[in-house]
Structure formats: structure tokens, C-alpha cells
Amino acid sequence: MELRFSGAVWYWRGPAPFHFVTVPPEESEQIAAVARILSYGWGMIPVTARIGTTSTTTSLWPKDGGYIVPVKKQVQLAEELDIDDVVTVELYLAV
């Protein structure tokens, strides 16, 4: 399954700080439909994510009935991303 959407980069400072992009509701519904066969536990779903020209493997995190995409530091640096930057995310799920 391949999905493409845009969203703003946001910061969660928590005990271990992360940057994320929220998956929109329509795409979250598509992911939820196959989540049971893809999740390796706790609702986490392995994906390959691409922002700009940078691809990385990561896992979608469930949040508030949808999903969020972690934006790894290597992607932030390669694509010169900052909080509130709007990016296009391409997700590849092994369905």
C-alpha cells in the first residue's frame, strides 16, 4: 500500500523528544483497515517513509484514533526541516 499526504512537522517533547507529522483521517482509516495484519504490537506499524528525497524505515504510532509518522533526525537534517514546515510524506506499507 502506498499513501501520499501533506502535513506540518510538530514537536513532542515528552521524556524522549520526537518530531512527527500527523496522518490525515482518510489515510488513517486506510491504514486502520490493514493494521491488524501489519502491527508488531502496541499498534505500531512498520513503514518506509519518504520526505523530499530522503527515505527511511520507521513505524507509525497510533494516536487519538489515527496515526503519526516520526520524522527521524537524519531526515530533518537532510531535508532542512523545522517545526511547522509543511511536508509531503509518502508511506509504503508492506501489505
**pLDDT per position as a tens digit, 13-61:** 877 779 999 999 999 999 999 999 998 888 899 999 999 999 999 999 9
DSSP 7: E
Between 65 and 15, name the one with better pLDDT: 65
Q: Is the pLDDT of residue 95 over 80?
A: no
Give the model's pLDDT for residue 17: 76
Over residues 69-92, the mean pLDDT reads: 97
pLDDT for 43: 87
d(CA 76, CA 83): 10
Q: How many CB atoms lie within 10 A of CB 45?
A: 21
CB 46 within 8 A of CB 57: yes
Segment 78-91 shows an average pLDDT of: 98
Confidence of residue 64 (pLDDT cuts 50, 70, 90): very high
Give the residue ranges of DSSP H helices in 1-95: 25-38, 73-78
Number of structural domains found in the chain: 1
Give the pLDDT of residue 40: 86
Q: Look at residues 89, 94, 92 and name the one whose alpha carbon lies nearest to residue 6.
A: 89
Q: What is the CATH number of the domain that holds 76?
A: 2.40.30.100
pTM reported for the whole predicted model: 0.92
Q: Using an 8 Å Cβ cutoff, are 87 and 79 in contact?
A: yes
Phi and psi dihedrals of 11, rounded to 5? -115, 135
Pairwise CA distance, residues 94 & 34, whole Å: 10
Q: Which domain range does residue 48 map to?
A: 2-92
Total number of residues shown for the chain? 95
